[in-house]
Each structure stands twice: as structure tokens, then as C-alpha cells.
Amino acid sequence: MATYREMALKHRLFMKAYPFARYAINPVPCAKLEKPLNVARVALVTTAGLHTPEQEGFDSFLKNGDASFREIPNTVTTSTLIEAHKSDAFDHSGVRADRNLAFPLDRFRELVARNKIGSLNHRHFSFMGSILRPKGLIEESAPEVADRLRADGVDVAFLVPV
């Protein structure tokens, strides 16, 4: 990971002026896993801005960020996913070369095959990172995804922040 001094000047200035917001979320939305992983249903959630070729991309022109999400089917070929993360504050070449860096679906398929996790959900979710005003994400998008995961009987949501 780069140190602050190693960042480009524009990124250091951005971080200095970044309008960090604090949101009180009570209770903190975490739960204890009530079954062993080898029988649990798992879903992936990434903030890499990934979407399938058939889906509309994220809106990178929204000033405060696009708080929408995309459903990624479990049957997707990971190499076909489009990485549309709007931030230029990190090197995108790794994710372009291997989507599993930001969405490790192939690795999780291997875990299922090795009986390390029970199963993968039929769908996973992708959000866009770099959301400056996360109120819509906190109050609308994330709860909607949580409701869908709950309805699917998902036991574990593996979060992959980018």
C-alpha cells in the first residue's frame, strides 16, 4: 500500500479537502455466523464498479457518486465483467488483468469445490466506490441489497472494498 507521501499531489489535496461524513448506524450491522462455513451460503459484494456487458454502467458523472448497484449472476465468466470504477486514485491494471482481485468469484468457486464453504448464492452485488455523499447508499441501496441477500438465505456476505 502506498504511503500518503507517495500519493500524487492531486490525490493528497483531494484527501485533505475530502468532506468526510459521519453516520451513526445503530446497531452496527454485523452478525455472528451461526453455522460452519462449510455449510454456509456465501455472496460477494464489491465496490469495484463491476457490471456485466449487458448491464448499464455506473454513472461516473454524478458529482457525489452513483449509489446504485448491479446484480452479478453467479454463472458469470469473471473475465467478461467490465470494471468501471471512476477513481483514478489507484492503479486499475491489476483489476483489468484479473477481475478476481476485486471480485474473487473464481476463488470462491474453488472453495466450494474443496468443501471449504457450502455454496455460493445465485447472485452477487457490485457497487461503485468513491461515493462522496453516502446517504443514498446507507438509506436505500445497501438496505435493498441486504434485503435481497436475506431473502436468498445468504449466511455470509464477503465484502471486497476497492
What was the pLDDT predicted at 31?
A: 79
What was the pLDDT predicted at 155?
A: 96
Residue 131, by phi and psi: left (phi above 0), alpha (psi -120 to 50) or beta?
Answer: beta
Q: What is the dihedral angle through the alpha carbons of 135, 29, 128, 61, rounded to the nearest 10 degrees?
A: 0
Q: Are 16 and 131 in contact (CB under 8 A)?
A: no
What was the pLDDT predicted at 11?
A: 76
Residue 115, by phi and psi: left (phi above 0), alpha (psi -120 to 50) or beta?
Answer: left
What was the pLDDT predicted at 109?
A: 98
Which whole-number Å values give the CA distances from 156 to 25, 82, 85, 143, in the listed order?
Answer: 20, 25, 25, 15
The strand pair at 123-127 and 41-46 is best described as: parallel
Amino acid code (one letter) for 89 = A
Q: Which residue has the cell 465484502?
A: 159
- Walk along the chain (162 residues) in steps of 10 and give the mean pLDDT of each run: 76 74 67 92 96 93 87 98 82 88 97 98 94 87 96 96 88
The strand pair at 41-46 and 156-160 is best described as: parallel
What was the pLDDT predicted at 1?
A: 58
Exposed / middle / buried, residue 103 (Cβ in 10 Å: 0-12, 13-18, 19+): buried
Question: Which residue(s) pair with 72 in the sheet?
Answer: 124
What was the pLDDT predicted at 90?
A: 74
Residue 78 neighbours by CB under 8 Å, 6+ apart: 99, 100, 103, 105, 106
